[in-house]
Amino acid sequence: MRKGWVIRVKPEKLEEYKELHKNVWPGVLKKLKEVNIQNYTIFYRDGLLFSYLEYTGDDFDADMQKMAADSLTQEWWKLTNPCQEPVETAGEGVWWADMEEVFHMD
């Protein structure tokens, strides 16, 4: 399964966000792999972050709950979340807004 999301990055936090992602903590990367995430990329353009990943597991929601329960991941998010804000159309309580896949080529 391929997933794409979008979120705003606060202009005053863009460089901090980029710096954090130059040296993602090894434990955070390990957890991403443990929950069946691969080929994970975040792109930036015009105040927006676009996230793309491929999920290879059998239960996406359960794996995302495992990741969210991980204490190291929670510490990482305490650094990255203040750099972000949801897009206006994200919906109530939605942080990274889902994007619709309209084309894919292997």
| Positions marked active-site | 21
Q: How many other CB atoms are there within 10 angstroms of residue 43's CB atom?
A: 11
Measured between alpha carbons, how far is 99 from 97 in angstroms, rounded to an integer? 6
Query: Distance between alpha carbon 43 and the CA centroid of its chain, in Å?
Result: 10
Rg (CA), the chain: 14
